[in-house]
Amino acid sequence: MRDKINGELLLVSFCTISMIGMLATVLLDYHRISIEKLYPAVDFEWTEPTKAAPEFPRLDFGKDAGQTTPCKDAKVEWSYTCATQMDYSLLEQQKTGNKWLARIKIDSVHARLWLPIKTILPENAITALKEHEIGHVEICKRVYEDSDKFARAAIEMVLKRTYSGEGDTLDEAISNAVKMAGADINNEYQPHTQAVAQDVSEIYDFLQLKKGATPEQSIEEAFETYKSGKPRRL
């Protein structure tokens, strides 16, 4: 009986120690990662009034009877930016001939996220076209809502790796290694932000061709279509 109790106590102790270790790891990673998320910056740029030409792609949004507007005269540009500052430990340095090789471990990362959005419209744009382009802005904002989560996941991945860089000096070799880590973060971050906004926007444009489709309806349907796994490149 005593052996059984001792065994149960050992099991409880082992589980407790494991949980404490896991909690310590989570807290350590939390302090190694800091994310500053800025509000989306929406800017409007007005271009010279234009006339619709037959050879341009056209959309008839229906709200302004008898008016059509060339799509190429209006667009929305966006950029999901993730700038990083890193602290690192130098694990190894080696000079071969005139070249330096450095291997580093990233200790902590501060990421600064922001989303500049530029809406370009002709001065004579009809109301329906303005509302359509603002729909793209809303798509970008919605995708941005979870951007800090994806940035954190990308940083956690980098913290588990080591990076090597080469250069004419040791500082240059270290700098190149740090740049590789930064590139890995962006390469992991962009598919969940920039690419998603692009895919959903393409679906949105297609849905807006339906007669009577409002931007609000098309936005919701575009996200649902994207989430359902239907073809995303139209």
What is the structure's pLDDT at 66? 36
Tell whether 22 is covered by a domain. Answer: no
Task: Give the burial string for 81-120 (b: 16+ CB within 10 Å, else e).
Answer: bbebebebeeeeeeeeeeebbbbbbbeebebebbbebebb
What is the structure's pLDDT at 214? 95
Task: Identify the three-state secondary structure at position 23.
Answer: helix
Place of tokens 């939390």: 30
What is the structure's pLDDT at 42? 95
**Residue 76: strand pairing partners:** 119
Distances in whole angstroms, Cα of residue 227 to Cα of each of 112, 135, 146, 221, 223 = 27, 18, 15, 10, 6
Over residues 140-165, the pLDDT tens digits come to 999 999 999 999 999 999 999 999 99
Number of domains in the chain: 1
All residue ranges of the chain with pLDDT < 50 are: 4-5, 8-28, 53-58, 60-70, 234
What is the structure's pLDDT at 124? 87
Tell whether 169 is covered by a domain. Answer: yes
Tell whether 17 is covered by a domain. Answer: no
What is the structure's pLDDT at 125? 87
Tell whether 19 is covered by a domain. Answer: no
Q: Note whether 175 and 165 are within 8 A (CB).
A: yes
Tell whether 26 is covered by a domain. Answer: no
Tell whether 68 is covered by a domain. Answer: yes
| Torsions phi, psi for 214 (to 5 deg) | -85, 155
Over residues 36-61, the pLDDT tens digits come to 999 999 999 998 876 654 333 445 44
Tell whether 28 is covered by a domain. Answer: no
Tell whether 193 is covered by a domain. Answer: yes
Q: Which domain holds residue 103?
A: 34-227
